[in-house]
C-alpha cells in the first residue's frame, strides 16, 4: 500500500469516526427503558448527557434538563468532558491531516508534512480514546444499576448513542494509527554519498616518502611505456 493511499484511507476512517462521535452529543437515546404497566398506559423513558425524558402512549414527550452542573453525578460530568474533548481533538486532527497529507499542496516539504500527519494521527487516537472512555463509563453505570438488586429506581438499558460512539471511537483510533504509520515511508530513504576520494585522502596522510612510493606504484612509468611502445619488430632477432 502506497503512503499516499494509506493517508487517504486513514483520513476517511478518522473523519467518519469523528462525525459519528460528534453525532452522539445531541443524540437523545443514551439509555432507554419502557414501562408496560397496563394495556392502557405505556411509557418510554430515555435520557442523554443533557436531559431525561418520558414519552407516553399518545406520543407526547416531557423532558427535564439537568439545570445545575454541580448537582450532577460525577460520571455525567466526566462523560460530558470526555465527549467534548473528543470532538475538539477530532476537529483539530482533521485540519492537521488535511495539511499533512501528500495529496495536498500545503505544509512544506514531505518531511514536514509527514510530521504534521503523524501529529494529526495522535489527535485522532486521543479523540477515539476520549469517546471510548465516555461511552464505556456511561454503559458501566447503566449495567451496574440494572443488575443491582438494591437499586429501586427506574432501570435503563443501553441506547443507540453508545453503540454509535463506540463505532466512531474505533474508526478514529484505526485511522489515527494508520496516519502515524504513514510517516515511516518519508524517513526510510537513506541518501548514499559517493566517497571515491577516500583513498586519496588516506595516501596524503602518509609521510612524504611513503606517499611518494605509493604514488610511484599507482602511476605507470611513462618512459618505460614509451620504450615498450617504440620496440622495432626485429628487436628480438
Tell me the pLDDT tens digit for each residue of 218-235: 445 454 444 444 545 554
Task: Assess if residue 38 is contained within a domain.
Answer: yes
Task: Assess if residue 193 is contained within a domain.
Answer: no
Residue 219's alpha-carbon distances to 51, 202, 231, in angstroms, are 93, 16, 22
Query: Taking Cα atoms as reference points, which of 97, 127, 126, 124 lies closest to residue 113?
Result: 97
Task: Assess if residue 171 is contained within a domain.
Answer: yes
Task: Assess if residue 233 is contained within a domain.
Answer: no
User: 97 near 117, Cβ under 8 Å?
Assistant: yes
Is pTM, for the whole model, over 0.85? no
In whole angstroms, what is the distance from residue 180 CA to residue 120 CA?
A: 8
User: 29 near 159, Cβ under 8 Å?
Assistant: yes
DSSP secondary-structure letter at 182? G
User: 195 near 26, Cβ under 8 Å?
Assistant: no
Task: Assess if residue 139 is contained within a domain.
Answer: yes
User: What is the number of alpha carbons within 13 Å of residue 73 lying toward its C-beta?
Assistant: 9
For residue 165, what pLDDT is reported? 95
Average pLDDT, the chain: 79
Task: Assess if residue 219 is contained within a domain.
Answer: no
Range of the domain at 18: 3-186
| Count of structural domains within the chain | 1
Here the CATH number for the domain that contains residue 131 is 1.20.140.150
Task: Assess if residue 213 is contained within a domain.
Answer: no
Phi first, then psi: give them for residue 230, nearest 5 degrees. Answer: -100, 15
> Could you read off the pLDDT tens digit of each residue along the chain, which spans 237 residues?
577 888 889 999 999 999 999 999 988 899 998 665 545 557 888 899 999 988 887 778 888 888 888 888 889 999 999 999 999 999 999 999 988 888 887 767 878 888 888 999 999 999 999 999 999 999 999 999 889 888 888 888 999 999 999 999 999 999 999 998 887 655 554 444 545 554 444 444 445 545 444 444 444 545 444 444 454 555 444
pLDDT tens digit string along 161-185?
A: 999 999 999 999 999 999 988 876 5
User: What is the number of alpha carbons within 13 Å of residue 7 lying toward its C-beta?
Assistant: 26
Amino acid at each position: 500500500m502506497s503512503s499516499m493511499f494509506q493517508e487517504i484511507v486513514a483520513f476517511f476512517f478518522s473523519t467518519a469516526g469523528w462525525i459519528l462521535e460528534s453525532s452522539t452529543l445531541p443524540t437523545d437515546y443514551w439509555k432507554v427503558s419502557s414501562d408496560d404497566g397496563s394495556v392502557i398506559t405505556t411509557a418510554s423513558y430515555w435520557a442523554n448527557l443533557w436531559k431525561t425524558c418520558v414519552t407516553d402512549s399518545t406520543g407526547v414527550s416531557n423532558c427535564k434538563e439537568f439545570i445545575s452542573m454541580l448537582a450532577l453525578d460525577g460520571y455525567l460530568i466526566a462523560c460530558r468532558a470526555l465527549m467534548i474533548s473528543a470532538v475538539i481533538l477530532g476537529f483539530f486532527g482533521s485540519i492537521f491531516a488535511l495539511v499533512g497529507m501528500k495529496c495536498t499542496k500545503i505544509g512544506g516539504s514531505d518531511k514536514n508534512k509527514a510530521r504534521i500527519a503523524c501529529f494529526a494521527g495522535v489527535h485522532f487516537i486521543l479523540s477515539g480514546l476520549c469517546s471510548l472512555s465516555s461511552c464505556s463509563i456511561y454503559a458501566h453505570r447503566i449495567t451496574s444499576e440494572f443488575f443491582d438488586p438494591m437499586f429501586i429506581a427506574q432501570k435503563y438499558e443501553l441506547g443507540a448513542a453508545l453503540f454509535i460512539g463506540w463505532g466512531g471511537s474505533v474508526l478514529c483510533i484505526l485511522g489515527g494509527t494508520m496516519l502515524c504509520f504513514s510517516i515511516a515511508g518519508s524517513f526510510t530513504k537513506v541518501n548514499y554519498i559517493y566517497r571515491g576520494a577516500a583513498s586519496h585522502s588516506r595516501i596524503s596522510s602518509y609521510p612524504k616518502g611513503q606517499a611518494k612510493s605509493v604514488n610511484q606504484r599507482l602511476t605507470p612509468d611513462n618512459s618505460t611505456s614509451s620504450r615498450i611502445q617504440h620496440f622495432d619488430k626485429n628487436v628480438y632477432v
